[in-house]
Structure 1
Amino acid sequence: MSIFDRFHYIVIEGPIGSGKSTLARKLGDMFPVNLLLENADANPFLPKFYQDAPRYALSTQMFFLFQRVEQIRSLNQRDMFSQHTIADFFLEKDPLFAQMNLNDEEYALYRQMYKHLHVQVPTPDLVIYLQTPVDTLHERVNQRHTSYEQEIPKEYLGRLADAYSNFFHQYDGAPVLIVNNEKLDITEQESAMNMLLERVMQIRSRREFFNPNME
């Protein structure tokens, strides 16, 4: 029995540098699933945003919104229900970035577009939230050597990590497994991946915590 026998549609979430996309890909390699991956490199405004956030925040945010909606729409609903699916983005979390980066007028415009574009998608059977300390996020972002990511201030990562934590500690739309991702890198260590899979199979309630350093 695999985790997808229990959870048909799984979302992996976490701030930049948490390893959500890597984990999603690894699970996609291990199991026959539909894989929905966010393509940040396709956003032409993103490098400019990290250099001049006030100027490019709205265009960056709107591109991501349109991209995510199109990815969801492109997945045939029959495939969503008949096959297992894993995604590294969560449309309901999209406004989190908008609230952080847009001014009041821009946010009002964004909300109008979000409401207009929001598509009906199945609620995830499980959300795995990779809760990662700011220092670890900063280190991993630097290790990736993506040129525009080197412009990301540590202070921004801190605000982003706080926003994620607040969102997922309050979110109750689907079961959530909050994973302490500080020292045990579940995206690189095979033993860590096995521990995570075992922990997922043990889930019994709608909100649980996995602290590998303590177990």
Structure 2
Amino acid sequence: MKHAPFIAVEGPIGAGKTTLATMLAEELQLPIVKEIVEENPFIDKFYQSMDDWSFQLEMFFLCNRYKQLKETANEFTEKGKPVVSDYHIYKNLIFSERTLKGIERDKYRQIYHVLTDDLPKPNLIIYIKADLNTLLKRIAKRGRAFEEGIDQGYLQQLIEDYDAAMAELADSPSKPHIITIDGNAVDFVENQEHYEEISSQIKELMI
């Protein structure tokens, strides 16, 4: 890899992004950027009424992630220092394209590009791909109250949206290297060999 790695771990809700990102950051002794989720003041209301609270929810996430990535650029990527993140800023478009409609979606797209077009983009993405049953089990296991009763149709659509998004990112100007993990078969938490297979791929790219 020509430049210091900016590693992003991505996947649908419940895929295990933060867990894997944390494990990699600890082993590789890299700083980690974690997205703010539970601190979003609109998240409970969103899951109760997506149509009423989508714009507020998405704007909160966008502004916080923008701030995080500006700080990441100043402290790490612009200085050639590697870093791990448990999200790619592109996820904002993945979610907003599904939750927003009409004028609100158009406005959001404009704001997204104004804020993010000059932000550093990950050059290595670890994409955890998993089916609906796997995600539901992991969501139930972590026990976030606001995710109880999450709409399965919404989650299934996100699975499909993530597949499409990864294909788009692969052809994007930044052309990141994408490692896809089968989250249905690979358990990087309980199976050390599974985790080591993932970390060894990343180490080879960092040489």
Alignment partner of 2:43 out of 19, 25, 46? 46
Counterpart CA distance in 2 for 1:197 and 1:115 is: 32
- Do 1:7 and 1:126's aligned partners in 2 also have CA atoms closer than 8 Å? no
Alignment partner of 2:193 out of 177, 180, 191? 191
**2:38 aligns to what SS in structure 1?**
helix
Counterpart CA distance in 2 for 1:160 and 1:83 is: 32
Could you tell me the TM-score, scaled by structure 1's length?
A: 0.86
Counterpart CA distance in 2 for 1:190 and 1:12 is: 18
**1:68 aligns to what SS in structure 2?**
helix
- Do 1:73 and 1:119's aligned partners in 2 also have CA atoms closer than 8 Å? no
Counterpart CA distance in 2 for 1:29 and 1:202 is: 17
- Matched to 1:194, the amino acid is E
User: Residues 31 and 119 from structure 1, CA distance in 2 versus in 1: closer, same or farther, beyond 3 angstroms?
Assistant: same
Percent identity for Structure 1 against Structure 2: 26
User: Residues 33 and 5 from structure 1, CA distance in 2 versus in 1: closer, same or farther, beyond 3 angstroms?
Assistant: farther
The equivalent residue for 2:59 is 62
Listed one character per residue, the Cα deviations across residues 70-116 of structure 1 (whole Å, up to 9, x for unaligned) are 10112253522332200011112311111101111110111121122
Choose 12-21 or 24-33, whichever is displaced more. Answer: 24-33
The equivalent residue for 1:182 is 184
Choose 76-85 or 170-179, whichever is displaced more. Answer: 76-85
Counterpart CA distance in 2 for 1:33 and 1:202 is: 16
Could you tell me the TM-score, scaled by structure 2's length?
A: 0.89
| Structure 1 gaps, min length 5 | 204-215
Listed one character per residue, the Cα deviations across residues 3-58 of structure 1 (whole Å, up to 9, x for unaligned) are x9986211100011100110001111112212111010110101111111000111
- Do 1:51 and 1:151's aligned partners in 2 also have CA atoms closer than 8 Å? no
Counterpart CA distance in 2 for 1:27 and 1:6 is: 18
Question: How many angstroms does 1:61 deviate by?
Answer: 0.4
**2:90 aligns to what SS in structure 1?**
helix
The equivalent residue for 1:122 is 120
Question: How many angstroms does 1:160 deviate by?
Answer: 0.6
The equivalent residue for 1:28 is 25
Measured on the aligned residues, the alpha-carbon RMSD in Å equals: 2.0
**How many equivalent residue pairs?**
200
Counterpart CA distance in 1 for 2:40 and 2:2 is: 35
Alignment partner of 2:100 out of 95, 99, 102? 102
**2:7 aligns to what SS in structure 1?**
strand
| Structure 2 gaps, min length 5 | none
Counterpart CA distance in 1 for 2:87 and 2:204 is: 24
